[in-house]
Amino acid sequence: MLALAMVLNLWRVLRGPALPDRILALDTLYINALALLVLLGIRFGTTLYFEVALVIALLGFVGTIALARYVLRQDIIE
């Protein structure tokens, strides 16, 4: 189910008519990847996957903020 959700996200990233659609799809894509990593961590019983998921959460949030800021101001670092 999560893999199917990620395929749908990827379809919206590639097709999306405007820039915010693509940013939103990337945001959803990293959230789904995080869920998939948590599932893998449950399946294999190691805590390594949770650390990877935490790093992906941090970096994905920063990336979304940077992209939205680029759309708003045309400049990331002021």
Partner 1 sequence: MLLDYLIAGLLLTGGGFALIGSYGLARLSDFYKRLHGPTKATTLGVGCILIASSLLSLRGSALSLHELLITLFLLISAPVSAHLLVKAALHLDPRAKPPLPPEQ
Can you list the alpha helix ranges (DSSP code H) found in the chain? 2-15, 19-44, 48-73
User: Binding string, 19-58, against partner 1, x = CB under 8 A?
Assistant: xxx-xxx-xx--xx-xx--xx-xx----x--xx-xx--xx
Rg (the chain; Cα; Å)? 14
For the record, the structure tokens of 44 come out as 């294999």
Residues that bind partner 1 (CB under 8 A): 1-2, 4-6, 8-9, 11-12, 18-21, 23-25, 27-28, 31-32, 34-35, 38-39, 41-42, 47, 50-51, 53-54, 57-58, 61, 64-65, 68-69, 71-72
